[in-house]
Structure 1
Amino acid sequence: MGIRTRRARAHSKTHFVGFGLAGVLGFIALLCVTLALSLGAVVSSWLEDLPDYTSADAFLVAEPTRVYDADGNEIVAYYLQNRRSVELDEISDYVKQGTVDTEDVRFYSHNGIDAEGIMRAVVVQLTGGSEGGSTITQQLVRNTVLSDEQFENTLRRKVREAYIAIQMEKTYTKDQILNMYLNTIYYGNSAYGIEAASITYFNKHASELTLNEAATLVGIPNSPTYYDPFNNYDACKSRRNVVLQRMLSAGTITQEEYDATSAEEIPLNPGQLTDSESTYPYFTDYVRNLLLQDFSSDTIQAGGLNVYTTLDPEKQQAAEQAAAERIAASGNDELGAALVSIDNSNGYIVAMVGGQNYGTDESAGQSTVNLATNKRQTGSSFKTIVLLAAMQDGMSPTVLINCPSSIQITPTYRPSNIDNHNYGVRTLASATAVSSNTGYVQVAEAIGMDKVASMASTLGIDTEIEPGLSSALGATQISPLEMAEAYSTIASGGVHRNPVAITRIEDRNGNVVYEHEDDPEQVVDEAIVCDAIKVLEGVTQSGGTAANVQSLLTVDQPVAGKTGTSDNYADLWFCGFTPQLTTVVWTGRMHDNQRVYFQGSTGSTYNVPIPIWCAYMNAALDGVAREEFPTADHEATYEPNDSWTFVGTSSSVNQEGWGQTTTTDEGQAEEPDETTGTAEPTTPTTPETPTTPETPSTGGETTGGGSTGGDSGSSGGGETPTTPTTPTTPTTPTTPTG
């Protein structure tokens, strides 16, 4: 073989070797590129559905909703977790420094992930130890925006966590991130955030923590159950000393501080950070139910809302005191009282009493049932709605009605006045003052119960009114809050407003998400309402069923209203108003519908709800300048009185020119008004006191229709009007009148 041939072969071998190495290296490079592209595609897919991490809200978890009264005082907080966020300058420096030294010593130098920390953690784990490599930023991400994935031990979760941590470091300062971390980390015993932990373990604010206390808290999040100082004190103390050692190594504390503090015991002083014990639990339960109509339970418990309400703390205190004192004086452990007071000018609920003993132990007389929103028979307090319906239908309050002791309305329904009093022929206004059942059931029959139900709805009563005539006497169950809304509409001259409990709601950042706007609506002719108010003023004057209001009320204000008593004296009501406030008081047994007893005798509107109403109104309106009820710029127009037909009244009594005087069994003369149309309602004269036993068992008008609202039922009756003697002690009247 020639030299050329040998050289050519040698050259070819050299090229073959060169080509082979280049191919292998090229293949490896191509493989790396392919893997990188594939991994990039995978990582890209992992990052496609990241939760929103651009808002600071994403890093705040379970902030309680706080509720405030009208003066801005916090009255309750609804919370899912025991948490209260604080600013960084409200946290002890020992906590901030100790957290960084223990959890992430290079926190202020890395960009969200710490490569050195990760390598150290790997080495420690390979040598049998245990140490995490996550930064404070990564832990914050894991506990907040990726909380749903925090227990996934996958590469996907770690990549997502690292990516968001890096992005966070571009958006927020280190101090902002540390602040968010300290407000969200779990410290055991239901304490989330450093402020909750400070109070839970040491009963002090986070700004007041000593080195010993701060080091203890810094160590707990590593394992909140194991390092719980209440259950595992020695382990917690050992962990505290680890924190102190790391603070010493970082140069945060001196050797002397370390030696002294590590030798100390942990000064535990348990406290409780909770606002769930409401100042006014019945009202705040009501507010919570309102919020649930627009917000989820999770939002209410964890959304950090600020809810501003209408509750006036001074009026609420007066209402609570008036109800509690009267119930305590009753000598009846089963008796309860509800009160709702509404500002007529805007519909604000300024006071709400839902009971006297909030709780879940019925054997101790406790209940969480809000009596202010609970429905009970209204008795004759519902006659006001019948009155308005009749007057709107054209019936003048001067129309004459025979009010006998009892009356057969249908073959199965025969209502009676209370104690079978025969009130004789009298005007509708006077029948209202004495609360005659037999007169009012004729009025309801004459206009039709459909018009009564329509008026109830117009005035704001959402409860469906049963169609039977007994509903005209209060057989339908309605809540005190609904009755207050209806009576406030009357007090406002026929202007309806929905009752308002919440004026404004803000999110956790102070942005307004709801603000109440006044939306009044004239729903009944003002002239008719003004005439009706005059009729209801007669109820509180001499001869009316609420005449003792005049002796108990000390403020200089006009007053009108209506009493109500259901069958067997189970429900006692007074629905009354002044130009400023409408207040409804209900009293009865909390757990059943049995008869009410007050100081051993049958209770009455005279000695239970009216004294509560007057005591509250005296306090609520103390020093308030006198105002007058609204007036109309026109007169109401009514149908001629003789155009009405009543089932138990002779048509002749309303005929024009009828001049005969009729006398009731109380000796009251009723002189018929011969005019029709726009006649003014008359105020009844004072009847003689009807014969009653020495210890009266009456004092209220009954529904006369049982609880079914149908036409068959008990005899019923109207309240007994008398002229009460002036009680020597205003809060304990001695002559019950109903």
Structure 2
Amino acid sequence: MATKKVQQKKKDTKGLSRHIRTFWILVGSGILTIIFIFLLASWGVFGSLPDETSLENPEKNLATEIISSDGKTIGKFYKENRTPAQYDSLPDHLVNALIATEDVRFYDHSGIDAKGTLRALVYLGSKGGASTITQQLAKLFFTEQVSRNKFQRGMQKIKEWVIATRLERRYTKEEIITMYFNEYDFVNQAVGIESASHIYFDKSPASLTTAESAMLVGMFKNASLYNPLRNPVGVTNRRNVVLDQMEKYGFISETVKDSLQALPLGIKFTPQGHDEGIATYFREYARHFMEDWIKKNPKPDGSNFNIYQDGLKVYVTIDSKMQEYAEDAVTSHMSRLQEVFDDQNKNNKTAPFRHITEKETAGILNSAMRVSDRWREMTKQGKDEEEIIQSFKEKVPMRVFSWRGEIDTVMTPLDSIRYHKSFLHAAMMSMTPQTGEVKAWVGGIDYKRFKYDMVKKGKRQIGSTFKPFVYATAIDQMHMSPCDTLPNTIYTIPQGRHHLLEPWTPKNSGNSYGGMVTLKYALANSINTITARLIDRVGPEPVIDLIDKMGINTKNMPAVPSIALGTADISVYEMVGAYSTFANQGVFVEPILIQRIEDKNGTILYQNVPKTRDVISEESAYVTVSLMEGVTQSGTGTRLRGTWAVNSPVYKKAITGYPYDFKNPIAGKTGTTQNQSDGWFMGMVPNLVTGVWVGGEDRATHFGSITYGQGATMALPIWGLYMQKCYADKDLDVSTGEFPKPENVSIETDCAKWRETTPTDVEEISDEFDF
């Protein structure tokens, strides 16, 4: 009996040993299998893995940044809007929020959280997953989107584990966190924490509050679902979960958590799309500049830079605050001027056009139709002309521009063309004359709808803003003084002189003639007959030679006396550069927009070298400036002084921001062209020259009278509003002092002793030319 028990015991022990051995064989086999699977994955059997070089230098599409002179990123060029942040720029509460929510044992594991993995296996993921921050980074960096096939997803998970362990060997914990923040797509064109901070809160990551950090970290769960613009309630709830986690793990107190959870999201959405943000027209100029520069400046290996993915930094002269002030001034004035324009067009049967025939109107609309995107796309589709034209007459749903925001409506594309042609446009550029640095650039009223840049591309007749060039030529060549007098009488330049085919007799606006007037008075009040006398004396050729040296393209400019009244087409860009020569004591400095270009490592690839040339003497420049000061002291620009007003409420509405009440020295010139098609104002203080143009897309789009259509009403108010804000911002240091006077000025500029003998009422005096 005892023997049987012993034998049974031995048998049981032997069986147990066999089971134990089998168990360990199975466990060992399982471990070996797992190891083998990991080895196969690391060898690339289940799909390619990044090599060591890729891990050291992960490829990224880095946005090129446009950085203003005051250090603000005002735009980007990108396929992915990604700008890398450094770990030092990430606030502690942002990092703590990530760790508390995504991987609380981040600093204790080597890429794979064994405890979390075991928990996930035991509870089948019901108590949270096991993905570490490192694994999530591996997924973002090197693997494609999650597959719905369970086997493929399993293989992908194994690859993520392999990559995660490699990342942990290669990088510090801080580097891994930084890469994770830089790689994640927070939607709405916000790739990486740097872009996300600016787009959702208009601030850098270093300035994020704890609540703002929690919101962004909450988006890691699913950015599409937790999109602050589409799901603010869900995002708030998710943010509060992150704050709960931060309190749970001791990063914040319960009191702080409760107070933060009660806060609103505080979103300040600042999109960084190519059509949004500030300086949109300038950014398009910068893009073309970069594309041209890239063609001529390859990388050391011979390949070309890519502005959409190489992470270049383009440092520009634009000042972000001055740019905002300029855009605000344009928007403020143009929205109100448009109301007056629309009001005047209510009884205009040919609106928005004036003084043209039905045939001419049809020609304008037909030309616009043929260069439209719709025409181009339908042509690509093989549609014939008759079918395309018919499509322009059929009503379709569309969005159209308005000063109160885009409007959803239904109209024909042809009516849409006419509607958008009813808007007056504006362009503005502001520059430091001593350095050539362009501080503000507004190419139009809305880049999304009206992409044509009227600062540099657009050229329009400039009216009486051309006259200072004629006066400057007379001063420089004939030593004339602002106090010299000429008769304000009808003046004819006969046929044959200065290449004239017919006699030329310009008229003054309002047929205002009589008496002897000083040059200062004549320019201040834009008297055409005096300008005609001057260009007859000096000849058109010297005037054209002068402005050519000042940076104006004179290639197709006819050498005829009528140019004196502004018949030439010139851009705002050229006019500001030329006027800056006067403010810079006769030295022309070519406008500068791009200061330098750096690669993503900070290596300087391009550095601007200023281009300058002497044009006229210091004395001649100073005397010309003195002449133009008269425009704002007693001429067409006096409303800048707060000494001019009219009784019409509508007119007051049109001249936004009046009275401006400037007390400091200002030199300037208004300009108005035939039929009030173009209104100009060029304004200067010693360290800032600004040019403004206002007009319709077509010359037939204009005001019906000089009262509203003159440069002093259309363009000057934009300058006034802009300068008010510039002066209010003391950090800008815009000059309020006198223009510098050279030593030994021999030309008399103080005309106080001279008796003015002409009427002083200049309310309706225009600088419109007539020939």
CA distance in 2, matches of 1:183, 1:627: 51
Indicate whether 1:179 and 2:178 are aligned: yes
- Aligned ranges for residues 513-592 of structure 1 at < 5 Å? 521-540=613-632, 542=634, 546=637, 552=643, 555-589=662-696, 592=699
The 5 Å alignment of 1:5-20 reads none
Partner of residue 459, structure 2: 375
Q: Which residue of 2 aligns with 1:299?
A: 307
- Relative to 1, partners in 2 of residues 1:436 and 1:277: Cα closer, same or farther, differing over 3 Å? same
1:284 has 2:367 as partner: no
Q: Label 1:413 to 1:134 Cα distance change in 2 as closer, same or farther (>3 A).
A: farther
Given candidates 550, 559, 568, the residue that maps to 1:459 is: 550
CA distance in 2, matches of 1:453, 1:534: 22
TM-aligned CA distance change 1:488 to 1:313, over 3 Å = same
Give the counterpart letter for 2:332 in structure 1. A
CA distance in 2, matches of 1:120, 1:199: 38
Call closer, same or farther: CA 1:459–1:190 in 2, change over 3 Å. closer
Question: Which of 376, 382, 386 is 2:470 aligned to?
Answer: 386
Secondary structure in structure 2 of the residue aligned to 1:583: strand
Contact 1:341/1:582 (8 A) holds in 2: yes
Whole-Å separation in 1 of the counterparts to 2:336 and 2:213: 52
Q: Report what 2:506 is aligned to.
A: 416
Matching residue of 2:81 = 81
Amino acid at match of 1:180: M
Alignment partners' CA distance in 2, 1:190 and 1:226: 15
* C-alpha spacing 1:561/1:351, structure 2 compared with 1 (3 Å): same
- Which amino acid in 2 is paired with 1:285? T
Q: Distance in 2 between matches of 1:594 and 1:187?
A: 45
| Aligned sequence identity (%) | 27
Secondary structure of 1:299's match? coil
Q: Deviations over 1:314-343 (max 9, x none)?
A: 796488459835973785246555544433
Equivalent of 1:629 in 702, 724, 740? 740
Cα separation, partners in 2 of 1:458 and 1:593, compared to 1, 3 Å: farther
1:173 Cα offset (Å): 0.8
State the alpha-carbon separation in 2 of the partners of residues 332 and 273 from structure 1. 33
Whole-angstrom distance in 2 between the partners of 1:161 and 1:98: 20
Matched, 1:603 2:709: yes
Aligned to 1:495: 587
Gaps of 5+ in 2: 1-41, 251-260, 292-304, 343-423, 644-659, 729-733
Tell me, what secondary structure is at the counterpart of 1:332?
helix
What secondary structure, in the 3-state scheme, does the structure 2 residue paired with 1:411 have?
coil
- CA contact 1:310–1:501 (8 Å) conserved in 2: yes
- The residue that corresponds to 2:766 in the other structure is 700
Asked if the contact 1:538–1:683 (Cα under 8 Å) also holds between the matched residues in 2, the reply is no
Is 1:473 the equivalent of 2:475?
no
Q: Which has the larger radius of gyration?
A: 1
Give the secondary-structure state (helix, strand or coil) at the position aligned to 1:456: helix
How many residue pairs match? The answer is 587
CA gap of 1:48–1:178, structure 2 versus 1, over 3 A, is closer
Alpha-carbon separation, structure 2, partners of 1:93 and 1:282: 32
Q: Is the 8 A contact 2:491 2:533 kept in 1?
A: no
2:370 corresponds in structure 1 to none
Contact map agreement 1:78 1:275 (CA 8 A) in 2? no
Per-residue CA deviation, residues 98-133 of structure 1 (Å, 9 max, x unaligned), is 5448xxx999655x7999999999x99xx9xxxx99
C-alpha separation in 2, matches of 1:590 and 1:526: 39
Q: 1:95 aligns with which of 95, 98, 105?
A: 98
User: What letter is aligned with 1:569?
Assistant: Q
Tell me, yes or no, if structure 1 residue 65 matches structure 2 residue 65. Answer: yes
Map of 1:99-110 to 2, 5 A cutoff? 99-100=102-103, 109-110=109-110
Alpha-carbon distance in 2 for matches of 1:212, 1:282: 26
Change in 2 beyond 3 A, CA 1:352/1:337: same
Structure (1/2) with the larger helix percentage: 2
- Identify the residue that residue 490 of structure 2 maps to in structure 1: 404
Q: Evaluate the alpha carbon distance shift between residue 597 and residue 687 of structure 1 in structure 2; reply closer, same or farther with a 3 A threshold.
A: farther
Contact 1:308/1:504 (<8 A) preserved: yes
C-alpha separation between the residues in 2 aligned to 1:691 and 1:97? Answer: 77
Q: Tell me if structure 2 keeps the 8 A contact 1:341–1:583.
A: yes
CA contact (8 A) 1:459 1:523 kept: yes
> Over residues 442-471 of structure 1, what are the superposed CA-to-partner deviations in whole Å (9 max), with x where a residue is unaligned?
655665655433322322335755225233
1:500 and 1:596 map into 2 onto residues whose CA distance is 35
Cα distance change, pair 330–396 in 1 and its aligned pair in 2 (3 A): farther
Displacement after TM superposition at 1:225 (Å)? 7.8
Q: How does 1:217-256 map to 2 (within 5 A)?
A: 217=219, 219-220=221-222
Distance change >3 Å, CA 384–CA 624, structure 1 → 2: closer
TM-score by length of 1: 0.58
Separation in structure 1 between the aligned mates of residue 683 and residue 209 of structure 2, nearest angstrom: 52
Is the CA contact (8 Å cut-off) linking 1:191 and 1:197 kept in structure 2? yes
CA distance in 1, matches of 2:524, 2:227: 73
Instruction: Check conservation: 2:518, 2:756, Cα contact below 8 A.
Output: no
**Structure-2 change in CA distance of 1:190 and 1:408 (3 Å):** same
Would you say 1:395 and 2:502 are equivalent positions?
Answer: no
Aligned residues of 1:303 and 1:507 also touching (Cα < 8 A): yes
Q: 1:488 to 1:182 in 2, by over 3 A?
A: closer
Q: Distance in 2 between matches of 1:613 and 1:41?
A: 68
AA in 2 matched with 1:289: E
Task: Give the corresponding residue for 1:332.
Answer: 340
The answer (yes or no) to whether the contact 1:604–1:698 under 8 Å persists in 2 is: no
Q: Does 1:342 align with 2:426?
A: no
Aligned residue identity for 1:91: L
State the Cα distance separating 1:484 from its structure 2 match.
Answer: 1.9
Q: 1:485 is matched with which residue?
A: 577
Q: What does 1:67-216 correspond to in 2, within 5 Å?
A: 67-68=67-68, 70=70, 72=71, 80-81=80-81, 85=85, 87=90, 89-91=92-94, 93=96, 95-96=98-99, 99-100=102-103, 109-110=109-110, 140=137, 143-144=140-141, 169-186=168-185, 192-193=191-192, 208=210
CA-CA distance at 1:184 after TM superposition: 0.9
Structure 2 CA distance for partners of 1:573 and 1:195, relative to 1, 3 Å: closer
Find the residue that maps to 1:533 and give its secondary structure.
Answer: helix
How much does 1:182 deviate? 3.6
Distance of aligned partners of 1:189 and 1:89 in 2 relative to their CA distance in 1, 3 Å threshold = same
Q: State whether residues 562 and 574 of structure 1, in contact with CA within 8 Å, keep that contact through their aligned partners in structure 2.
A: yes
- Structure 2 letter corresponding to 1:383: K
User: Are the equivalent residues in 1 in contact too, given 2:581–2:621 (CA < 8 A)?
Assistant: no
The DSSP-based 3-state class of the residue aligned with 1:627 is: coil
Equivalent residue letter for 1:95? L
What is the CA–CA distance in structure 2 between the aligned matches of 1:360 and 1:230, rounded to whole Å? 23
User: 1:29-85, CA deviations, whole angstroms, 9 ceiling, x for partnerless residues?
Assistant: xxxxxxxxxxx9999xx9999866545xx4654457364563x56666666438885
Q: Which amino acid aligns with 1:387?
A: Y
Flag the 1:614–1:192 CA change in 2: closer, same or farther, 3 A: closer
1:160–1:322 Cα change, 3 Å:
closer
Distance 1:166 1:294 in 2: 44
Aligned to 2:296: none
Q: 1:342 corresponds to which letter in structure 2?
A: M
Cα distance, 1:519 vs structure 2: 5.9
